[in-house]
Amino acid sequence: MSEKSKNAFITIVGRANAGKSSLLNALVGEKIAAVSSKPQTTRTKITGVLTRAETQFVFIDTPGIHKAVNKLSEHMLKTVSDSVADAEILLMVCDCSKDISQNEKNLIKNFKKNDKVILILNKIDLLDKKDELIEKLSQYTELYDFTEVIPVSVLENDGLDIVMDALTGLAVDGPHYFPDDKFTDQPERVLMAEMIREKALNDLNEEVPHGIAVTIESVNERDSKDGEPIMDVTATIYCEKESHKGILIGKKGSMLQKIGSEARQDLENFFMIKVNLQCWVKVKEGWRNREGAIRNFGLD
């Protein structure tokens, strides 16, 4: 550790679909969190790491706040409340194209007197008039004395440099807790499972995605006959109903092939190796309300 080393631990919170995971990926510069238009895409805390010069930024993405409807969502909401309570720096990400929700108001009440809370007004590209942004800013600042308010468009990479400047100013003297070239603490198998689940979320209809979990059964690297390295990955996609299994597989296996093909491309781009991905589908009835299943999937 150099004498000048600094660190900043930043917890990202907000409503579902506000753009938290997209912001995490954009700031870290790597795709480590699943991104989807479906609510509750993020289920657990996901850590992203970025080291710039003497400062190491540790970002913790959390599930979107929502109304609990089963044991899994109860675990997700507890993750958010625990993360807020322990946070050194908070990034509250809001969708400025939507009205403030009651869930957001409740979340803000839990900030207590944290003096390092930055409000990120995301999706400014969806606003037609600047007056709308000013009005939204006023509504949020009436609820809390934010350290800074930063309008951004994660999609258009607009304003992210301002976010990093603000976070740099809040960093404190201290060691780097991760190697400087590391960008997440997520095990490789977790990253693989999330890439597959993301494709399923994006490709399936509204009813099925929330009941999906993915486990990586095996990973094996070998050389092809031509001496090219290949990574064999076997994954199981779990769903909650037999009818969902049919939808997941699709006519003559078309949906499962689509999910697998898209996930394979992401895996190859991420791990920089040719991938042979095999996906299987199994039914685990009502697993989101079963503590044992939630624990086995690592979602507790």
Dump pLDDT digits (tens) for 9-46.
Answer: 999 998 888 888 899 999 998 888 766 655 555 556 67
Residue 66 has pLDDT above 90, yes or no: no
Percent of the chain exceeding pLDDT 70 equals: 87
pLDDT of the residue at 167: 97
Task: Answer yes or no: are the C-beta atoms of 236 and 287 closer than 8 Å.
Answer: no
Residues 226 and 163: their CA atoms lie apart, in Å, by 47
Distance CA 53, CA 26 (A): 18
Residues 6 or more apart whose CB falls under 8 angstroms from that of 89 comprise: 8, 9, 10, 11, 116, 117, 118, 167, 170
Kindly report, residue by residue over 207-237, the tens digit of the pLDDT: 666 788 999 999 999 988 888 899 999 999 9
Q: Which residue has the higher pLDDT, 70 or 84?
A: 84
- Per-residue tokens: 48: 């992203």
CA distances from 278 to 214, 240, 263, 281 (A): 12, 20, 10, 10
| pLDDT confidence of residue 294 | 75
Joined tokens for residue 141: 């600042």
What pLDDT, on a 0 to 100 scale, did the predictor assign at position 109? 86
Give, for 232, the enclosing helix (H) or strand (E): strand 229-239
* Four-residue CA torsion sign, 27, 28, 33, 36: positive
Go through the domains of the chain in sequence order and give each one's CATH number: 6-173 (3.40.50.300), 188-296 (3.30.300.20)
